[in-house]
Amino acid sequence: MNDQPTAAAAGAESIARRLLDLVLRCALGGLLIYAGVQKLRDLEQFFLDVQHFDLTPWNLSMAIAMYLPWLEVIVGVALIARRLYLGALTLNAAMTVVFLGAIGSAWWRGLDITCGCFGHENNQTNFPQHLALNGAMLAATVILAGLHRPNPAQRT
C-alpha cells in the first residue's frame, strides 16, 4: 500500500527530468543553430573575427571560419533530434571550453574585438557577458549528460 505514493513520486520525478531534458536540449540546440546560421550569413566577416583573436595563423583561421558554423548547426540539430547524442554533447562541451578559453584570453590581452559568436557585431564584445553565456552553456551540457545517465532506480 505504501508503494503507491513512492511510485507517484518516481513518476513525477521522471516527468520533471524529461521536461528539463527537453527544455535544455531545445534551448542549447536552438542557440547553436542560431549561432551557426548567423556566422554562415557572412563567412568572410567571421573569418576576420577569428583572425582578430590573434590565436591562429591565416590558414587555420580560414579553416575554422568554414568549418565551425556547420559543426554548430549539425551539433544543434543532433541535440534537438537526440541523435548521436553523446557525440553531440561531447562536441558541444569541447566547443564551449574552446570559446571560453579564446574569449578569456582576448579579454586578458585587452583586445578590441568582436568575437563573432552570433555573427558580426559592430560594438566591441562584452567579455563578461559572453563568458557567462558560455559558462551557462557548459553547465547545461553537463546537466544534460547527467540526465542521460540511466536512473539508478530504473536499472533494477
Q: Identify the bridge partners of residue 119 per DSSP, sorted by sequence position.
A: 117
Q: How far is CA 82 from the centre of its chain?
A: 15
Residue 7 Cβ, how far from other proteins at the closest point, in Å? 22
| Stretch of 14-22, 24-32, 74-82, 129-137 lying at the interface with other proteins (CB under 8 A) | 74-82
> Which residue in 130, 69, 72 sits closest to 105, CA to CA?
130
- The answer to the question of residue 153 lying near other proteins (CB under 8 A) is no
Alpha carbons 10 and 6: distance in angstroms, whole number: 6
Residue 2 Cβ, how far from other proteins at the closest point, in Å? 27
Site for other proteins in 24-63 (CB under 8 A): 40, 43-45, 48, 51-52, 54, 58, 62-63
> For other proteins, which residue of 24, 55, 84, 136 counts as binding (CB under 8 A)?
84
Grid coordinates belonging to 78: 543532433
Task: Report the chain's terminal Cα–Cα distance, integer Å.
Answer: 20
Burial of residue 25 (CB within 10 Å: 0-12, 13-18, 19+) is: buried
Alpha carbons 46 and 139: distance in angstroms, whole number: 26
For the window 95-134, what string marks contact with other proteins as x by the rule CB under 8 A?
A: --------------xxxx----------------------
Interface size with other proteins, residues (CB under 8 A)? 33
Which spans of this chain sit near other proteins (rule: CB under 8 A)? Answer: 40, 43-45, 48, 51-52, 54, 58, 62-63, 66-67, 69-71, 73-75, 78, 84-88, 90-91, 109-112, 150, 155
